[in-house]
Structure formats: C-alpha cells, structure tokens
C-alpha cells in the first residue's frame, strides 16, 4: 500500500500514538469500573446498581413487593432491574470507549455492506 505523499511512515511516531491510545483506553476502563449506574423495575420497586463494567454492586428491594406467595414476580423484577442497569452500563461504556475505539483505525468496518448482518 502506497502512503500519501510518496514518503514512508515513521514507525516510532506510530508506536508513540499507539501507546498514548492504550493509556487513554486504560484510563477510560478505570473510570468505568469506578462509575456506578442504576436500573429499575416495577416502577422503582427494585433498583439494581452496577459498575460501569457491569459488576453488580447493590440491589434494593422495596418491602412492598416482597410476597412469600409470589416469589416469581420478585425474581422477574430483580432480573429486569439488573438487565436495565447492565444496559445502562453498556451505553456508558460505548460513550466512554467509542471515541477511543474509533481512534484505533476507525473502528469496525461496516460488515453489513459485505453481506454480514444488518
């Protein structure tokens, strides 16, 4: 592949840029791990808190939803709240890491145009 301008490329400059990008990526990942997001279900009767890297940190269940005769509903609400929190963490990850992933060569190519998906 011919480089624009006819010149070669500076390997040391590319390595330096890659190292800077890696440092930014590590920093963003640390920020995500230290950030907490929540998800809810049942109109706030169950609230799950996860870290930005999707680790469950806490689960709060309103006593009003605790019915020994209907454990299934409570289980469903817990699962829904954790899924909501995880989805919020994924959105946060995309916001934090999206620009960095784009800097690593523009991200993934559009596979849909190649017949792989969408």
pLDDT in tens, 70-100: 999 999 999 999 999 999 999 988 888 877 6
Query: Residue 33 — very low, low, confident or very high, per pLDDT cuts 50/70/90?
Result: confident
Q: What is the mean pLDDT of residues 104-115?
A: 42
Taking the CA atoms of residue 75, residue 39, residue 82 and residue 71 in that order, the dihedral angle to the nearest 10 degrees is -10
pTM, 2 dp: 0.64
């Amino acid at each position: 592949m011919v480089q624009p301008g006819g010149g070669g490329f500076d390997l040391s400059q590319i390595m330096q840029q890659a190292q800077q990008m890696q440092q930014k990526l590590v920093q963003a990942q640390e920020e995500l791990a230290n950030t907490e997001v929540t998800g809810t279900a049942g109109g706030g009767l169950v609230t799950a808190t996860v870290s930005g890297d999707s680790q469950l940190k806490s689960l709060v269940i309103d006593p009003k939803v605790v019915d020994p005769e209907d454990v299934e509903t409570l289980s469903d609400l817990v699962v829904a709240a954790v899924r909501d929190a995880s989805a919020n963490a994924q959105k946060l990850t995309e916001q934090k890491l999206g620009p960095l992933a784009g800097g690593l060569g523009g991200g993934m190519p559009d596979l849909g145009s190649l017949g792989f998906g969408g």
